[in-house]
Amino acid sequence: MEKRRSILRMSLICILTALSPAMTFADTAPSSAPPLAVTASNYKFAPSMITVQVDQAVTLDLTSTEGVHGIQSSDLGIPATTIVPGRTKTVTFTPKKTGTFLIHCTVPCGPGHADMVLTVKVT
């Protein structure tokens, strides 16, 4: 019986691990506003700046047209997220304070990597 429970636990861990990249990370209910599309390509995000409202859930649909990229911001509550070509990664966060936040690409992507920034203005 204990062996069966152990197998079930391991199966559940494997399933949850497989599903976690597709999960949306949020500390609040999903946004009722349509998702904001952000596209990464080598050395830039498009748009390069987005404006969002404080205390309002924001959903980003992240895609890449070339190369593997990433974003993360503890200030905004955006978990480490990898963006790969051909897939849309959805991230939901709720900004808790106003300001301008610079989110640098977290995956080295070549000589222009240091200048690859998504600016998030929270009003």
CA 8/CA 16 separation, integer angstroms: 12
pLDDT digits (tens, 9 = 90+) for 51-70: 999 999 999 999 999 999 99
Tokens 């494997």 sit on residue: 14
CA 18/CA 33 separation, integer angstroms: 28
Dihedral, CA of residue 105, residue 122, residue 25 and residue 32, to nearest 10? -130
Mean pLDDT to the nearest integer, 74-80? 96
CA 45/CA 113 separation, integer angstroms: 11
Fold of 24-122: Immunoglobulin-like (2.60.40)
SS3 label, residue 49: strand
For the chain, domain boundaries: 24-122
Is 0.75 topped by the overall pTM?
A: no
Label residue 33 by pLDDT band (50, 70, 90): confident
Tokens 């990464």 sit on residue: 40
Mean pLDDT to the nearest integer, 114-119? 95
